[in-house]
Each structure stands twice: as C-alpha cells, then as structure tokens.
C-alpha cells in the first residue's frame, strides 16, 4: 500500500505518492521513494510524472520566478519544460513529453496560479514527511546567479578603493618631479648659507 500526501494552495494541489525507505528505518507515513506525483491546477489539464520530472519542473518554476523578480526577461528553456512570459500577467508553460509521439502540453497561467504552484512546491520542500533524495536534487538557483555578479561586485568594492587611492597618490606625487628641481634647490640653499 503506497502513501499519499497532498499539498494545497488555493487553486493548486500537489499529490505525492510513494513508499518509505524501510532500510533507513523510516516511519510508515513517510515517503522517500516517490513513484508518482500529480499537479492539479483548477481549469487546467492534470500534470503528472515521475520523480525524475518533478525536480526539474520545480527548479524551472523557481528559476523563472527569480528571473521575474530580478527584472530580467523571464525565459526558461530546458528539455522538459519551457516557461515564457506572454505579458506581465500571463505565463506560457510548455511541458514536453519524453515520448516522441506525444505532443507538448501548453498551459497559460496567471500570476496567481504561478504563485500558488510555487507555494505548493515550497510546502513539499518544507514537509518532513517527504524526502527527496539528493541524487535528484539540484540547486534551485542557476549557477550564473549563485556565483554571479554579487560576489564579484563585493570583491571589487573591497579592493578598488585602496587601489585607486594608491595609484592616485603615485600619479599626483609624480607630477611634482617636473616642478621640483633638486639641483636648483641646492644652489639656493648654498646662496642662503653664504
């Protein structure tokens, strides 16, 4: 008998079906071997798949939402899912089947459904009853963002001010070489001494 867990957020619900890993002494009501998942969005076709599909789809939604907030052009494309913004309010999702003879499923969702879906994924991640094995987990933030401009900017902010001050001191002081003639100065001193 498989366990079922559901996560709901307004018009979206996510159902996870699977078994506990008894070899890890897990409780009866836990799920760590996910056999199937179903994402139900009201008035939209049912989305379902295996664990291999769940993690990339979750990542796609997370990355897309980050791009949306970051004021960049929100486009996410992968082998499994494409998400593009039609306009500020409507998002176009294309789910591609791994089977060659199945046509891609196209969904248009608004900001409300997008945030419902992401909140369902958040609930799943927060749940202690569902364990998504590390083999399937990849970080939700793309590499470009994780090691991106933030650290570089912080580094440059740290290193640039002292470098600029040293170089400006050198430049400024080097100009005095042209104005100051040590030989003339020596002569003057000698004259004064006499």
Q: Tell me which residues touch another protein (CB under 8 A).
A: 10, 62, 65-66, 68-71, 88-90, 110-112, 114-116, 118-119, 122-123, 125-126, 140-141, 145-146, 148-151
Q: Please name which of 51, 53, 49 lies closest in space to residue 79, comparing C-alpha atoms.
A: 53
Q: Closest distance between another protein and the C-beta of residue 150, in Å?
A: 5
Q: Closest distance between another protein and the C-beta of residue 151, in Å?
A: 8
Q: Cite the beta strand spans of the chain per DSSP E.
A: 3-9, 12-19, 33-41, 47-49, 75-77, 81-85, 90-95, 105-110
Helices of type H across 96-148: 111-126, 143-146
CB closer to another protein, 40 vs 66: 66
Report how far residue 140's alpha carbon sits from residue 129's, in angstroms, rounded to the nearest whole number.
20
DSSP state of 48: E
Q: Closest distance between another protein and the C-beta of residue 4, in Å?
A: 21
CB closer to another protein, 12 vs 95: 12
Q: Can you say whether the dihedral through the CA atoms of 103, 109, 114, 118 is positive or negative?
A: negative
CB closer to another protein, 43 vs 184: 43
CB closer to another protein, 75 vs 166: 75
69 and 49 Cβ atoms separated by less than 8 Å: no
Q: Closest distance between another protein and the C-beta of residue 143, in Å?
A: 11
CB closer to another protein, 104 vs 148: 148
Q: Closest distance between another protein and the C-beta of residue 127, in Å?
A: 10
């Amino acid at each position: 008998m498989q366990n079922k867990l559901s996560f709901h957020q307004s018009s979206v619900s996510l159902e996870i079906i699977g078994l506990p890993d008894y070899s890890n002494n897990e409780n009866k009501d836990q799920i760590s071997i996910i056999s199937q998942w179903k994402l139900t969005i009201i008035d939209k076709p049912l989305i379902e798949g295996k664990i291999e599909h769940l993690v990339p789809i979750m990542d796609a939604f997370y990355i897309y939402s980050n791009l949306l907030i970051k004021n960049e052009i929100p486009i996410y494309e992968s082998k499994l899912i494409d998400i593009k913004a039609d306009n500020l309010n409507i998002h176009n999702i294309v789910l591609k089947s791994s089977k060659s003879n199945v046509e891609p499923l196209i969904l248009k969702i608004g900001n409300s459904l997008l945030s419902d879906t992401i909140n369902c994924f958040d609930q799943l991640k927060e749940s202690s009853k569902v364990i998504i094995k590390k083999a399937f987990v990849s970080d939700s933030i793309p590499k470009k963002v994780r090691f991106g401009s933030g650290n570089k900017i912080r580094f440059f902010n740290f290193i640039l001010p002292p470098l600029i001050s040293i170089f400006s001191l050198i430049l400024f002081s080097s100009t005095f070489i042209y104005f100051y003639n040590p030989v003339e100065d020596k002569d003057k001193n000698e004259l004064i001494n006499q």
